Every structure is written in C-alpha cells, then in structure tokens.
A and B are shown apart, each in its own frame.
Chain A
Amino acid sequence: MEKFTTHTGLVVPLDAANVDTDQIIPKQFLQKTERIGFGQHLFHDWRYLDVSGKESNPEFILNKPQYQGASILLTRENFGCGSSREHAPWALEEYGFKVIISPSFADIFYGNCINIGLLPIILTANEIDTLFVKSANENIEITVDLANNKISCAEMSFDFSLDIFHQYCLEQGIDSVGWTLKKLDTIKAFEEKMPAWQ
C-alpha cells in the first residue's frame, strides 16, 4: 500500500445520500479475478446511458467537463452501504479518487477503504453542507493533511479524526497481513487455550 501524507485535488460534489456499493460498481462487473479493471465501470448505471457503457450520460456529475481529473469525492450520508464488495473502493481508487468526504460511511466500506489506502474523511453535516454550497458556485480544490488531521479549502479549514492505528497504517503504507504475521506466537498461544468446540 502506498503511503498517504498530503493530497491536494479537485472536488466533485455527488449530492446523493445512501449511495450503495451496487451503484458504485454493479454486479455484472464483479466477475474478474484480478484487482484491476473496475475504474471504467465506476457508477456505471448513472455514468452511462447504455448497458454496454459506450454512451456517456452528460447529466451525471462525474461526466461534466469541469470535474474531469477530480480526485476528491464529496458526498452525503451513509456512503458505501450495502454489499461488502471491496470492488467498490477499488473502482473509486482506479478512477482516480484518493479521498472521499462524507458525513457518514457504512462500516464495511469504511474498513475496505482504509485497507487499500483510500482515505475516508468524516465531517459534520454542517461542514459538508458548506462544502456543497461552495462547490455549487465554483470549482474547489481541497488539501488534505493527514499528519495534522486537517483539510483546507481556500480560507476554510476543518479537522477530522481517524483511529490511531488506521492513521499509522495509512501514513506508513503498512502491509497489514505482514504486520499481523509478526505476532504468530501470540496467536498460537491464544489457540492453545481455546475450548475444543471453538
């Protein structure tokens, strides 16, 4: 996993609540056995007018010319609900997103983002409203400073919090499996004490 330190990027405001992972990456694209090839299908049914994904939907926010190259997704509550498919954060990452800002995330999606180094930032509903209002009038850029848990946008800045270990893993680009494998002796000791039915 790549280390995350700071990131500055263009914001695309997706004004929708309860965006589920079926919307982020529909099921017909889950048949791959590799980890790549999902970005082109991100938000497929919203992004394309046709089933085969050739005809772009000009009304969908990600397709508007002013948001090309955006790397920060601003969205509403309960983002990433539904299916546990990690293909959803893979698709967002492959499309070019580094950061998702929302008032709340579904639990499994949030964990999946942390595990692949896509930074999910929770702000208050008021702060989110402020950013939506600002982004409606102009293109905005946000700078995320992970070490200081701060995002800034022009004259505004907001603090966010992150679990201390999540922060460490993101900053260091930790291979979490390798990290836990260093604790095999502790795991073995635990296994020896387990009851027979467990």
Chain B
Amino acid sequence: MSINSLDKKSEKNSATTLYEKLWQQHIVEDKAGETPLLYVDRHLIHEVTSPQAFANLKFHNRPVRHPERTIATMDHNISTRSIKIDAAGEGAANQLRTLEKNCKEFGIELFGMGHKNQGIVHVIGPELGLTLPGTIIVCGDSHTATHGAFGALAFGIGTSEVEHVFATQTLRQTKAKTMRIEVNGTVGSGISAKDIILAIIGKTGSAGATGYVVEYCGSAIEALTMEERMTVCNMSIEFGAKAGLIAPDKTTFDYLAGKEYSPKGDVWRQAIADWKQFKTDDGAEFDTTLVLKAEDIKMQITWGTTPGQVTSVDGVVPSPDDFTDQVEKDSCSAALTYMGLTAGTKMTDISINKVFIGSCTNSRIEDLRAAAGVVAKYQAQGRSVSSKVDAIVVPGSYRVKKQAEAEGLDKIFSAAGFEWRLPGCSMCLGMNDDVLEAGDRCASTSNRNFEGRQGRGSRTHLVSPELAAASAITGHFVDLNS
C-alpha cells in the first residue's frame, strides 16, 4: 500500500483527520528531542522571498536538492502595465533579474515575464496542475494556504525555511492543533466564497485559529467549485491558521484532469485511487469545531484594519462600546481613527474612490466572470464606473487573462471604464506602482486591510468581486440583494 497514513491507521485502528493523514504521509523522521522532519513535495518561489535563500546556498556551496520539485514565477514586484522587467523600477528589476540568474544557475523552471504560464504563484500552481492532493506544498508567502483547497497541506514559510527546503527538500514542523469549520446548508443568492470566509473570520477574530490547521467541510463547502474553495482556503492565514484544508473529491479530480503538470496515464489512475483516502474518517476528533449556517451568511465588508473587523453590507460601522474585551475596544477605536469612519454609519453610506479587482484571493476566471456579470447589468441600464472612482482589474495569470479575453470580459470592463491590466499581485500589497494615496478609500477583492497595506495612509475595505464591481459604478457600497 502506497499511503503511509493507511498503514499507521490500521495499526492504531482509530479514526484520523485529513491533517493527520497528510502529516503521517510526509514524516521523514520523528526523533525524540527534535522537531519532526517532513518531506516537501512542491516548492513554489517568487522574486521577493528567495534571493537571500539562494545567496546563503551559494555561501555554503550547497546545491538545490530537487530543482525539478521547485517552480518559480514573477508576481509580487512586477508592473501590470508592461511585461518589461524594468517597468516596475530599479529595485524590482534587480530582484527579478536576480531570480532569473538564480533559476538558471540552480536549474529551476521559471515562468518569467511574457511566459504563457506566468502569474500569481497561488493562481498558477492550481491551474497548471502543480498543486496536487495528498502533497505538502510550501512557498515564501503566507497565502500558500490557497493550495489546501485540493487537500494538500500548504503553508507559507520564511526565507530561512526556503533555504532549508532548497537544500534538503524537507522542513521541520511542530504539529498543529486541529479545527473543523463546518458550513451547512445553501448560501443565498449573490453570496460568494469571499463572503463565506470573511463571515468565518468575523466569528473567530483575526487570531482565532493561531496554532491550528483548519479543515473546512459541510454541504456549503462541498458545493463550492475549485476556484471558490481556493478563495476560502486562501484567507485561512487571516485568522491565524497554519493551513486550511478541504478534502479532495470528484470536483477536485475533475479540475485537475488533463492539466499541464497533472499526472498522466497509470500514475493518474493510481493517484486518484490514493487521493480518495485523503479525507477525515467518520468519528475523528478535532481540538475545536465551529459550525455556521450558510443561510445566515450575508454579503461582507471589512470596516477596520484587520480582516476580522468585518460586518455585513446591511450593517453599520461598530462602536468601541460594542466590544467587551479591552483589546478589541482599543483596536476598534484605533481602526475607526485610521479608517476615518464614525460609529453608526451605514456601510452602504460609505463612499469609495478606488476599486481593485485582483489578488490571489479573487483574480481567477470565475471571479472575473462574476464581476463582469454585475458590470454588464449596470451597463444595460446605461451606467459605467463613477466619475469619482478609479477602478482596475488585474487577472491572476496569463492563462486567466487569455480566457477572460476569449470570453470578452475585458471588453465589458473596459467599456464600463475599468482599466484592464496585466497579471500580477499588484495593488494587493502595492510593491509595484499600483498603490493608493493617503486618504484613498478602496473596495478591494484582496485579503488584507492592514494599515498602509495598499499605500501609506490608504483605507482598504475587503469585499467580494461582485460587490467591488458594483461599488465602482455607484461610488459607494451597495446591498446587491436589497
């Protein structure tokens, strides 16, 4: 039997969680007095968190142990207006060229500017079939949790760990606690995967899952498409989770079939048989469980400076008095000051002047279709982007861009006054020139509303692609269901 976890399970004859099975499948060594050593199947790298790791390898004269298990892309720093490496400034160009040199020297495949597979690291992994169930995937980026949507144990790492994976193809990890998040029922009309995950974070708070690996389950999760599952798992880090997982099923296998890097032939057939075992057994115990009713989830908007500071579109900006915990009171008060908001203001009365549709959370084809669908409805009424709003749409990868253009989505956006850009991380973190000015208020489909995240003094409200698209046209948040 090729699945280590099954051997262990039959020995113990006890129900185990998906996380436990992934853990057992990857233990290289678990020795008393040492942190367990786990095997890493896939290492994704980009220009920002890899140069110092490569430099240390060179200093010690160490090779990359498995260059074929490592894939590089350019995403964080790049311009979304030009595929020229120099287009995003000297510092970015230096980092991008350093990545090119390092990949060449160490024999790593790189999807550089202009390559048909280039894009945001967490968009291209899945769409190319590099992300597989039952594997461990790491990347020097905290949104690596995205790949957990396939039943892979996927998590972000620091640069020292990037170096460790380069040199050894392993990582030392302490075991996390397990949290089960069950979303049962059917979500209402217009409720997206982004609303589901923001509603979850609203319940747990921004650190509610620190020390945990989360497994999402329940009928509302099972009903999600792969891209929607990725949106949910992507934001696991935003409530502190080490990783987010969804058990692989037919939806997963159908998505992966025939992808460029997916296994083929007999290996594919064996893979499917093995992957079906990667699910939590009935009766397996979790350290903690949270249950939500899908019907209760409304369209979400963040009002503060952490993703947990979130409410529904028909809600109001809260007051520090609404919280009992002193830390939460203080955080609310500081957030209202930074965000320039007054307690009691209806969310739909908040005006915005910038819109960003993109990021590893919401830049896939289904996100762009959903946003374009909203835009098309307004266009039918003769409406376009508000004269007070600048709005950009940044597809997650070249493949997404090509598909969107084949479907004419770019024309819908452009005709309505959105700028249609080239793929990259863009305004999610603003390492390139896609930054907000102080005081700008942005409806953003990204994942972080931290102070200054999109530009010093900028104010970010995290929303779904549908709500971002509607806000661009009306100039304020709108309850699409009212």
Contact = CB atoms under 8 A, between A and B. Distances in A.
A154 interface: no
B88 to A, nearest CB: 9
Given A190-B28, A198-B135, A86 B159 contact: yes
A85 B236 CA distance: 17
B157 A108 contact: yes
A23 to B, nearest CB: 6
Given A27-B431, A197-B132, A17 B327 contact: yes
A85 B49 contact: yes
Contacts of A20: 306, 448, 450
Nearest to A29: B91
A104 B330 CA distance: 17
Which of A82, A89, A168 has the largest number of chain B CB atoms within 10 A? A82
B28 A27 contact: no
A136 interface: no
A18 B35 contact: no
Contacts of A82: 142, 237, 448, 450
A78 B210 contact: yes
Contact of A106 (B207, B331, B429): B207
B91 A45 contact: no
Interface residues of B, number: 74
B473 to A, nearest CB: 29
A5 interface: no
A51 interface: yes
Contacts of B274: 195, 197
Interface string B6-34: 00000000000000000000001100011
A28 B436 CA distance: 13
Nearest to B206: A18
Contact of A196 (B237, B267, B429): B267
Interface string A109-152: 00110011000000000000000000000000000000000000
Contacts of B67: none
B134 interface: yes
A84 B60 CA distance: 24
A109 B423 CA distance: 28
B39 A187 contact: yes
Interface stretch (A58-66, A92-100, A177-185): A177-185
Which of B52, B267, B274 has the largest number of chain A CB atoms within 10 A? B52
Given A165-B172, A195-B2, A23 B452 contact: yes
B156 interface: yes
Interface in B419-446: 429-431
A33 B2 contact: no
B134 A198 contact: yes
Contact of A177 (B157, B168, B263, B450): B168
A32 B91 CA distance: 7
B263 A112 contact: no
Interface string B98-119: 1000000000000000000000
Interface string B122-149: 0000000000101100001110000000
Interface string B158-177: 11110110011110101010
Nearest to B1: A195
Nearest to B432: A27
B476 interface: no
Interface in B23-82: 28-29, 33-35, 37, 39, 41, 48-49, 51-52, 55-56, 60, 62, 77
A198 B41 contact: yes
A21 B92 CA distance: 20
A84 B429 CA distance: 13
B28 A77 contact: no
Interface string A154-198: 000000000111101000000011101101101100110111111
B456 interface: yes
Nearest to A35: B52
B288 interface: no
B62 A22 contact: no
A66 to B, nearest CB: 23
Contacts of A193: 4
A34 interface: yes
A46 B160 CA distance: 27
Contacts of B231: none
Interface in A44-103: 45, 51, 76-78, 81-87, 89
A81 B207 contact: yes
B140 A84 contact: yes
A26 interface: yes
B453 A18 contact: no
Contacts of A181: 62, 167-168
Given A33-B98, A85-B48, 9 more contacts: A22-B450, A33-B55, A81-B207, A83-B429, A115-B158, A178-B60, A195-B3, A195-B270, A197-B268
5 interchain residue pairs of minimum CB distance: A31-B91, A86-B158, A197-B271, A112-B158, A33-B51
